[in-house]
Each structure stands twice: as C-alpha cells, then as structure tokens.
Amino acid sequence: MSIRVLIVDDEPLARDRLRRLLGEEKDLEIVGEASNGAQAVETIRAHRPDLVLLDVQMPELDGFGVLTTLKSEEVPLPAIIFTTAYDKFAVKAFEVHAVDYLLKPFDQERLVDALVKARRQIESAEPDTLRAKLNELLSEVKPKTAIAERISIKADGRIILIKPTEIDWIEAADNYVSLHLGKSVHLLRETMNSMEARLDPAKFLRISRSMIVNTERVKELHPLFHGDYALILHDGTKLNSSRNYRDQLKDRFGV
C-alpha cells in the first residue's frame, strides 16, 4: 500500500531535504508540498494525505494553527510527524502525548524510526485516538495570545486604531480578514485563527470557518437545515453559521 505524504515547511531547503530523504522509502508517495500554514490546510483538504510532516514554527499560521483549523472541520486528520526546533518543554509534550516529532537537525535513521511509527498508526486506522492525542497536545503547548485592546489597521498612509467592541462581524478574505464596523469595512492581513485568539471569547463567537460575530450585535437566530442557523444582526445583516459550530451556538445562546 502506498502512503500519501505531504511536506510542510516554510524553508525551501528543508523541504528539498525531506523530499530527498523520503525518496529512499519505496512505499511513500509525495502528493505535495506547502510553504505555509494556510497552504497546508488547503492542500490537506484537497488531497487528504495519509501522513503530514509538519513544521511547527511558521509565520502567520504555525503547525499548531494548522491542526486547530482542521480539528473543527469534518476533514479526517492524517497521521502527523512534527518537524521542529522547538524548546524542550514542547518536545516533552510531544513525548507525553505520544505524538511523534523530528527535532531539527535530524538524520535518515531518526526519520526512518518516525516513519515506522507513522505506518503503524495509519494501519491501525483509529482517527478518534489520533484526534484525542492532538487535542491534548494543542491544549498544552499552543501559546495563549493576549486579548487585544486595540487593533491597528494600516490604510492610506495612516494607522487606524479600532476597539474590538466596535466590530460587528469578521469574515475571511483570502490571506486577509475583513472587519465589518457598521458601514465601514477594513482589511487586515491576518488569519482567522490568529484573529480569533486576539478577541474576547465572552464577546466574540466563531460561527463558521470563515466568520466570527460579535454576539452583542446578534438580534435573532433562525434555524435552517442540518443544524445550521441564520444570525440576524441589529443592522439587518444576515450571517449563516456552519453545523460544525452548532455546539458553540448552543452553549452561547441556549438554542
């Protein structure tokens, strides 16, 4: 059986080296490479690899952010081997939660050992066990981001300072997020995950992969099909939630 592998690392030389080392393994098929976290998420959605060699430290969306994004979706999680130059605390966490890692710089022998474990994991086909291990790891090592008091937006040669409480809702826009404040819209180069981490969870709620809403702006909820809801804001804006986030809606609004 051929194992489909995705390589994720923001360093071209690191990707080249991994491709060369993996080329020694006859049962592996490299289905793609990704140079950043957002690209990794899209490639995993599109190609459904069996195994991902995932760099932890990447700009904007790191390896933990990739998994945080995927775990809220109905995408089967692949087996993961982290490649990392992370500190001893994180490495210890990998060991405690039985998630394999390659500490940079690593050699062919260490890679082969990690691949043996990955093959066993793939053959056992226990996605719930894998998801549980990764969730435990994320809760321990993912750094907490401070809640923002002001959000800085660069526009027309000036910097606009926005209070998060002024935001009605937020939408993903390619490599940006779109902040909606009444009739004003501001673009910020940031991921939805990092934006969500900067907001007060008591006031803001993720309702889909691409939308976050200020719950104080929500006026009505209209049930749709399959656990989805239409959220009507005070200004009449209509936002549709995703069933993957219905538990969060139930907890917040008691629906």
Residues 129 and 173 in one domain: no
Return phi, psi of residue 237, to 5°: -60, 135
pLDDT of residue 180: 97
The answer to whether residues 208 and 239 belong to one domain is yes
Look at the chain and report how many structural domains it folds into.
2
Which of 117, 141, 165 corresponds to the end of one domain?
A: 141
Q: Are residues 14 and 112 in the same domain?
A: yes
How many residues can be counted in the chain?
255
According to the model, what pLDDT value does residue 156 have? 79
Q: DSSP character for 38?
A: H
Domain that holds residue 84: 3-141
| 34 shares its domain with 112 | yes
In a domain, 121, yes or no: yes
- Residue 55's nearest CA partner among 43, 67, 45 is 67
Q: What is the pLDDT of residue 186?
A: 93
Give the residue from 141, 176, 196 where a domain finishes.
141
53: in domain = yes
Residue 64 within any structural domain of the chain: yes
In a domain, 147, yes or no: no
173 strand-pairing partners: 176
Domain boundary among 114, 141, 168: 141
Please check whether residues 114 and 8 belong to one and the same domain: yes
How many angstroms separate the CA atoms of 64 and 156, rounded?
34
- 200 neighbors 191 (Cβ within 8 angstroms): no
Token digits of residue 241: 């939630």
What is the CATH number for 125?
3.40.50.2300
Task: List Cβ neighbours of 212 (8 Å cut-off, separation of 6 or more).
Answer: 169, 170, 192, 195, 196, 199, 204, 205, 206
pLDDT at 121: 79
Asked if residue 148 is part of any domain, the answer here is no
158 shares a domain with 119? no
* Predicted TM-score of the model (pTM): 0.56
User: How far, rounded to the nearest angstrom, does the alpha carbon of residue 178 sit from its chain's CA centroid?
Assistant: 18
pLDDT at 33: 94
Indicate the residue type of 213.
V
Could you say which residues of the chain have pLDDT below 70?
A: 1, 59-60, 72-75, 86-99, 125-131, 139-146
pLDDT number for residue 141: 62
**78 part of a folded domain:** yes
**92 in the same domain as 188:** no
Could you give the CA distance from residue 39 to residue 36 in angstroms, rounded to a whole number?
5
Kindly state whether residue 146 falls inside one of the protein's structural domains: no
* The pair of three-digit structure tokens given for residue 80, joined into one six-digit string: 């993961």
| Cα dist from 45 to 36, 48, 71, 244, whole Å | 15, 6, 12, 15
pLDDT averaged over the chain?
84
Other Cβ atoms less than 10 A from the Cβ of 195: the count is: 23
* 215 and 243 both lie in a single domain: yes
Q: pLDDT tens digit string along 108-142?
A: 999 999 898 888 878 876 666 666 777 777 766 65
Residue 72 inside a domain? The answer is: yes
